[in-house]
Structure 1
C-alpha cells in the first residue's frame, strides 16, 4: 500500500494519520469506517467485477468512493491498518442463518488486530449492523457496545449454547450479539486470496442472499443507521426505532445513493431475483 493510498483512504474516513497504532486510534478508525464507507452489494447487480486484489479494493474505496461487502471492506481496512503499523491477521468465518446453521467455508472475513499498546482486538467493518467498536479478542464475558451486547466465546466450550449443527468447531470462536450467534471464526491466519472462492460464490450463486437482494447501508453520526434496499429507504435511530419509506422514482433512488452514501451511479441497480430475501442485517 502506497503512502498516497494511505492518505486517500484517511481522507475518505475524515481522519488523520495516527501517531502510533494504538487501541484508541483503532477504535476511532473503526467507527469512522462504519459511518463513511457503506456496506453494499451494488457491484453484483450492476455487473461490475468483484476482485480481491488489494490495489483494486483500495481504489474502489478511495477513488471510486464506494463500499462493498465483507471481503472488500475488511480486506481494504486490514490493508490500511497494516500500513499504519498494526499487526493484522485475516480470519475466516462461517455465518449463522436464522435456523442456527453455519454457512459455507470462507463465508465471512474479519480481522484480528494487535496494537502497539499490547491489546488484541476483533475488528469487523464488513458485517452490516454489528459492533460499532472493535471487540476485545481475548475477553469471554459480555461486551457492551452501542450496537448491542456482544460476546466472543470458545466454540468448543459452548457456554451460550451456540454450537453449529455439525457439532464441530474446537478451537474456533463464536461471535454472539444480544444472545444470538452471528458467525463462527477460525483462529488460523489466512491471506486475502483464500477468500476468492467465497467471494465468487456470494456474487454468483442463486443461493447467496447477496444475489437475491440489494443493500446499501452505513452508520450515522448519532449512532443510528440508514439503509437503502432497492427502493425502500430505512432510517434506524440509536434506540432501535425505525421508519421506512418507498422511493417512487429513479431520480429519488439515485439522489439517495448520492446524498446519503456518496455513491454516484449512472443507473438504478436492479436485483437479479426479485423474490429473494433481504440479506444480512442492515
Structure 2
C-alpha cells in the first residue's frame, strides 16, 4: 500500500510529521474526497475487511465505502504516519425508532495530540468534517453543521443540532478494540434487513458547505447554512440515469450492475 497514492486520492500532496494541523488536513481531505457508499452490496460485490482489499477499492479504483472501509483505510494511514490511533466501537441511533444499534455497529477512532484526545471519523455520512476534542460538553460549528459531545457516566454521545434540538448520532465508550473485531457486524450490515445498507443503495459525498447524496432513485442536494440549518432539493432518477450520475458526480464506475433500492428498514426483534 502506497501512502503517496493515498494522498493523491484525497487531493493532498503530502502530510508531514504528526501534528494537529496535519491531522485536521488529512481528516478534512478524506471526507471531501471519499464518498460514504454501500454500492458494492447492491452490485454483486462483497465487502471484505482486509486492509489491502480496502486500499485497492478506495485508492486504486477510486471508490468510497461504508464506515469499516473508509475508517479502516484512515486507521491504516494514521498508523503508518505515526499517530498511534485507538479503535473504538460506536452504536448508531436509528432515526425512526430512536434505538441504538449493537456493539461494533460503527467504527471510530481517537488520536492523542497536544495533551488531548481527538475523535476521528471519516466514515459517517452526516458526521464531522474535522476531528473534535474528546471533552464533555464540547460544542463546535463545522462547515456541515453544529456538533456536540456529551458524556453520561462512561458513555459518550456525539450529537448534531437540528433547529433548536440536539439529535444523537451515535454513542460510544473509550474501550479499545481491534479492526478485526468488526468483521461480524460488517457481515451483518451486508445481509440483515434491519441494516440501512441492505435496504437502501446509497452514495453520499461531503462538499464545502453542502452534501450530494444518491439514494435509490433520488439525488438529494443539501446546502448547509450558518447556525446548523440546511436547504434540501431532490431530483428523481431513472435506472438509465444512475450509472452516468455516479460517474459524473461521484467518479464511481461499478464493476457489476447496480440494482437501485430504497426500502423501509425492518426493525430488529430486540435492541
TM-score, structure 2 normalization: 0.89
Distance 1:16 1:150 in 2: 29
Match of 1:211 in 2: 198
Shift of 1:16: 2.1
Distance 1:236 1:150 in 2: 17
Shift of 1:266: 4.8
Distance 2:232 2:167 in 1: 21
Match of 1:233 in 2: 219
Match of 1:28 in 2: 25
Shift of 1:195: 0.3
> Tell me, which stretches of 5 or more residues in structure 2 are unaligned?
266-271
Match of 2:159 in 1: 176
User: Where do 1:145-184 residues align within 5 Å?
Assistant: 145-156=142-153, 171-178=154-161, 179-184=166-171
Runs of 4+ aligned residues of structure 1 deviating over 4 Å after TM superposition are none
Q: CA RMSD in A?
A: 1.7
Distance 2:20 2:136 in 1: 15
Shift of 1:29: 1.4
TM-score, structure 1 normalization: 0.86
Query: Judging changes above 3 Å, is the alpha-carbon distance between structure 1 residues 267 and 19 closer, same or farther for their aligned structure 2 residues?
Result: closer
Shift of 1:271: 4.3
2:245 maps to 1:256: yes
Shift of 1:13: 0.3
Shift of 1:46: 1.2
Alignment counterpart, residue 15 of structure 1, candidates 12, 15, 25: 12
Shift of 1:267: 5.2
Distance 1:140 1:16 in 2: 35
Distance 2:180 2:223 in 1: 37
Which of the pair is proportionally richer in strand?
Answer: 2
* SS of residue in 1 equivalent to 2:248: helix
* SS of residue in 2 equivalent to 1:241: strand
Distance 1:84 1:17 in 2: 11
* SS of residue in 2 equivalent to 1:87: coil
Match of 2:86 in 1: 89
Shift of 1:149: 2.1
Contact residue 254 and residue 267 of structure 1 kept, 8 A: no
Aligned residues: 256
2:258 maps to 1:275: no
Match of 1:163 in 2: none
2:239 maps to 1:242: no
Query: Judging changes above 3 Å, is the alpha-carbon distance between structure 1 residues 256 and 55 closer, same or farther for their aligned structure 2 residues?
Result: same
Distance 2:61 2:126 in 1: 23
2:185 maps to 1:198: yes
> Tell me, which stretches of 5 or more residues in structure 1 are unaligned?
157-170, 278-282
* SS of residue in 2 equivalent to 1:7: helix
Distance 1:174 1:218 in 2: 24
* SS of residue in 2 equivalent to 1:18: coil
Contact residue 175 and residue 181 of structure 1 kept, 8 A: yes
Match of 2:268 in 1: none
Shift of 1:268: 4.5
